[in-house]
Amino acid sequence: MGEIAEAMSNGLFCACCGVMLDGEEPGYPRYCTRQCEPPGHRDPIKPTKQRTEAQRNKRRERNRRYRARKAARAEAARAVPRAVDDEIDALEEEE
């Protein structure tokens, strides 16, 4: 195997296009962009992040509060035109 091919398989260069990455050789092939990665490839350095139950509960509560505020804003936005329409109707009845 040639030096460049070996460097590509050791992770010094992108395994697809041959671009030099960061000067480190971790010992496995790496890729410079998502376009160079083969389908189904996962970088072994970046494992998926697992959240604790407390973190999941905190996120759920934050999302619940966000949805409640969003619903309240939507209701307020619907109420304003109704109040204006009621005032217009009252003015028209006076005439």
Tens-binned pLDDT, residue by residue, of the chain (95 aa): 788 888 888 888 988 888 888 878 888 888 888 888 887 766 555 556 788 899 999 999 999 999 999 999 988 888 767 766 777 777 777 76
Task: Look at residue 61 in the predicted model and tell me its pLDDT.
Answer: 96
Task: Look at residue 48 in the predicted model and tell me its pLDDT.
Answer: 61
Task: Look at residue 46 in the predicted model and tell me its pLDDT.
Answer: 56
Kindly tell me the burial class for residue 77, based on how many C-beta atoms sit within 10 Å of its own C-beta (0-12, 13-18, 19 or more).
exposed
Task: Look at residue 43 in the predicted model and tell me its pLDDT.
Answer: 56
Phi/psi for 40 (5° steps) reads 85, 5
Contact (CB, 8 A) for 30 and 23: no
**Coarse DSSP helix, strand, coil percentages of the chain, rounded to the nearest 5 percent:** 55, 5, 45
